[in-house]
Amino acid sequence: MLALQNALRGDEQRLDGLSSKTGIPVGRLHELANGADPTMREVRSLAGVLKLAIPDLAPLSKETERAEILFREMAHRKHIPAAALVETLSQRMAYSLELLHQAKSVPWWAKEFRSLPQGNPEAFAMHFRSFFCNGDSVSPLLSLPGLLLERLQLMLHVVNTPHFEGASAYVDGIPFIFVSARFPPRMLFTCAHELGHLLAHHDPEADFATIDSSTDLQEHHSHSVSERFAHAFASALLIPPAGLGIVLKKIRQLANIPEQSPLGDVEMLYVSRVFGVSFEVAARRCEDLDLLPRGGAVSLNNTLKEMYGSAEKRAEMLHLPPRPVISFPPLPLTLVNSAVERIRKGEVSIGRASMMLGLSIKDLLTANSTQLQ
């Protein structure tokens, strides 16, 4: 019960607060903090107030400890103050590993990107599209989250914590991407950014993890080569040059903008909506492709902020079509299917699977019923 003892550490004022919320006398809380055995009723009351699940108070499993080491090292290296974040990511990863329970193997697609010239994000993006999008080098890729889950069998988790932007990892050859729940276009970009790390930087044969506290454009000027690559890869993947050309031409036709006039905010706003990215990402992509002068993206974005409050507000004022929906499936289907299979075989109990997936027992019964049909 060390976890509960740790959770009860604090000053008298904190214990007073816990006491009034749980009805457990302060004296008893002191006893519990000093190692007395609580009753399950006390554990339930305290877990509820501390916003913990009861199993969170159990000692860490071997899998969670392993994942924690990977993330903690990276958080420390990147100066991310993130004890709770590390715990959340580690637990999600450990639960996935336990449910998948597969022998160490490298994903079949990983080697396809090994022979590409490192440092060429456009080549990586084109190769990805030729492999997983039937060679479509034009269309928006709003379905990237679903594609990663279904075709690449990647463990994509959306995590509801603000302390990070994204994270990626390989453990036992299983690829993981974690995305912080935010504005969906930002999540899509983060997803592509982390994919860039997985394809080009992580060795699938070795356990590795990285955490990004931000994927903001301006911050990437000073970032490492790998961060700049991941950023450029994400832009190239989500806004392919051929697609961008077609969209810009069409917008100019519709808005009666002369071909020779320089690109402006209206075209950028359209581009951002069509390709499911933020205004900044769209403008910066145009800058990278020499369609805007260097510094033009930041300048345009700042102007829109000053004049209209934000790029999104400007788009609303112009009555641009609404942004298309970008969906992030709540859980990798592979995980749910694997859980159902393992419950049937008696390898994992339905209660444990329910706790690990954050699904109810009834949800798992429904998943089993659907599979049987």
* Stretch in the footprint of other proteins (CB under 8 A) among 50-58, 75-83, 89-97, 116-124: 50-58
Kindly tell me which of 309 and 351 has the beta carbon lying closer to other proteins. 351
CB of 353 to other proteins, least distance (A): 8
Cα end-to-end span (Å), the chain: 44
Is 361 a binding residue for other proteins by CB under 8 A? The answer is yes
Spatial separation of the C-alpha atoms in residues 220 and 214, rounded to whole Å: 9
Nearest to 50 by CA among 1, 3, 2: 3
CA atoms lying within 13 Å on the CB side of residue 98: 23
CB of 362 to other proteins, least distance (A): 6
CB of 28 to other proteins, least distance (A): 12
Burial class from Cβ neighbours inside 10 Å (0-12, 13-18, 19+) for residue 298 reads: middle
Quick note: the x/- pattern for other proteins over 313-352, rule CB under 8 A, is: ------------------------------xxxxxxxxxx
* Stretch in the footprint of other proteins (CB under 8 A) among 38-46, 124-132, 218-226, 268-276: 38-46
Task: Give CA separation, 100 vs 42, 144, 333, in Å.
Answer: 34, 22, 11
CB of 264 to other proteins, least distance (A): 53
* Stretch in the footprint of other proteins (CB under 8 A) among 22-30, 195-203, 219-227, 358-366: 358-366
Other C-beta atoms lying within 10 Å of the C-beta of residue 311: 22
* Tokens found for residue 60: 């860490």
Assess contact for 173 and 107: CB atoms under 8 A: yes
Spatial separation of the C-alpha atoms in residues 335 and 340, rounded to whole Å: 9
**Which of 14, 41, 76, 101 is the binder for other proteins (CB under 8 A)?**
41
Is 37 a binding residue for other proteins by CB under 8 A? The answer is yes
Is 42 a binding residue for other proteins by CB under 8 A? The answer is yes
Spatial separation of the C-alpha atoms in residues 251 and 146, rounded to whole Å: 28
- How many residues bind other proteins (CB under 8 A)? The answer is 40
The three-class DSSP label of residue 78 is coil
* Stretch in the footprint of other proteins (CB under 8 A) among 20-28, 54-62, 134-142, 207-215: 54-62
Spatial separation of the C-alpha atoms in residues 213 and 80, rounded to whole Å: 7
CB of 67 to other proteins, least distance (A): 17
Assess contact for 2 and 59: CB atoms under 8 A: yes
**Which of 31, 33, 43, 299 is the binder for other proteins (CB under 8 A)?**
43
Kindly tell me which of 138 and 365 has the beta carbon lying closer to other proteins. 365
CB of 268 to other proteins, least distance (A): 47
Spatial separation of the C-alpha atoms in residues 98 and 301, rounded to whole Å: 45
* Stretch in the footprint of other proteins (CB under 8 A) among 32-40, 64-72, 232-240, 319-327: 32-40
> What is the layout of strands, in order, in the sheet containing 174-180?
155-159, 174-180, 166-171, 208-212
Is 307 a binding residue for other proteins by CB under 8 A? The answer is no
- E strand or H helix that includes residue 27: helix 26-33
Residue carrying structure tokens 């345009």: 300
Kindly tell me which of 136 and 363 has the beta carbon lying closer to other proteins. 363
**Which of 16, 21, 26, 39 is the binder for other proteins (CB under 8 A)?**
39
Is 6 a binding residue for other proteins by CB under 8 A? The answer is no
Residues of this chain that interact with other proteins (CB under 8 A) are 1, 4, 37-44, 53-55, 57-59, 343-355, 360-362, 364-370, 372
